């Protein structure tokens, strides 16, 4: 049996708007899925809008939120090399992969929504009925997508993402360029959420989304399960 081929798309954006605060990829949202995928024997490719070094949100590296998996990644020479040398998006093709996964962190709020190569790539994944997984702010990559009728891809689709209330608790409502929950609802998505910072996963056919970093583990697991058979019905999973 051929190994699973997974494309991970991370942010290249490292600054929080017009502030001096650094942002980027939230470490847990790549570390946990990365090792779940790797332990399943998957071949992993990391790409980003700008290619090269993927910025990490410094807060996600702090001892307060670190865990054994994030510490493992930061000490793993293979993953360090991967994070320092991501491929640029326009070198990747959907037909070369079984699924695509978009981790969050606040960086995607700036460079996932106005990126033509990313839009084309993700629309190709959907056209080929390949799995698309996204966690937290990584769901921002779905906002500009269109279906074959030219309508928003998320219209009528059940999904979740980082909520307005979680953004408020984070103190970033007036910093981010838009509120992800509000944007998805305005496009006609059937958005649902759980309590703040509690794992919550929604599956709608080939799209698997998680509300926040606590959802990263279950999104990765559901993606691997869904490879065997795309879900026929929408499903919500709360842990």
Residue 215 has pLDDT above 90, yes or no: yes
pTM of the entire predicted model? 0.95
- Domain of 133, in residue numbers: 5-238
Residue 233 has pLDDT above 60, yes or no: no
The confidence score (pLDDT) of residue 229 equals: 73
For all residues of the chain together, what is the average pLDDT?
95
Q: How many domains does the chain have?
A: 1
The whole-number pLDDT of residue 237 equals 60
State pLDDT tens for residues 108-153: 999 999 999 999 999 999 999 999 999 999 999 999 999 999 999 9
- Model confidence at 15, in pLDDT bands (50, 70, 90)? very high
Percent of the chain clearing pLDDT 70 (strictly above): 96
Query: What pLDDT digit, counting tens, does each position of 152-171 carry?
Result: 999 999 999 999 999 999 99
pLDDT tens readout for residues 55-72: 999 999 998 899 999 999
Share of the chain above pLDDT 90, in %: 92
| pLDDT of 238 | 52
**pLDDT tens figures, 21-36:** 999 999 999 999 999 9
pLDDT at 230: 62
Residue 12 sits in a domain whose CATH number is 3.40.50.880
Query: Would you state the pLDDT for residue 57?
Result: 97
Distance CA 199, CA 6 (A): 23
Nearest Cα residue to 225 out of 69, 36, 94: 36
Instruction: Give the mean model confidence (pLDDT) for residues 171-194.
Output: 98
Q: What is the pLDDT of residue 236?
A: 59
Between CA 199 and CA 51 the distance in angstroms is: 30
């Amino acid at each position: 049996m051929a190994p699973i081929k997974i494309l991970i798309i991370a942010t290249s954006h490292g600054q929080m708007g017009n502030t001096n605060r650094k942002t980027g990829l939230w470490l847990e949202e790549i570390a946990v899925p990365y090792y779940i995928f790797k332990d399943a024997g998957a071949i992993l490719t990391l790409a980003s809008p700008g290619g090269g070094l993927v910025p990490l949100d410094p807060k996600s590296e702090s001892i307060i939120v670190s865990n054994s998996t994030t510490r493992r990644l930061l000490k793993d020479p293979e993953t360090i090399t991967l994070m320092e040398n991501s491929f640029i998006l326009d070198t990747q093709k959907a037909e070369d992969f079984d699924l695509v996964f978009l981790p969050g962190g606040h960086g995607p709020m700036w460079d996932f929504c106005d990126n033509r190569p990313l839009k084309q790539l993700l629309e190709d994944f959907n056209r080929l009925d390949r799995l698309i997984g996204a966690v937290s702010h990584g769901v921002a990559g779905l906002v500009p997508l269109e279906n074959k009728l030219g309508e928003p891809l998320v219209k009528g689709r059940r999904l979740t993402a980082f909520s307005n209330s979680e953004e408020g608790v984070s103190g970033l409502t007036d910093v981010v360029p838009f509120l992800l929950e509000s944007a998805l609802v305005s496009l006609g998505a059937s958005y649902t959420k759980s309590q703040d910072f509690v794992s919550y996963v929604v599956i709608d056919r080939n799209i698997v989304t998680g509300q926040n970093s606590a959802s990263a583990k279950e999104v990765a697991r559901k993606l691997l399960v869904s490879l065997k058979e795309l879900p026929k019905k929408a499903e919500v999973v709360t842990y």
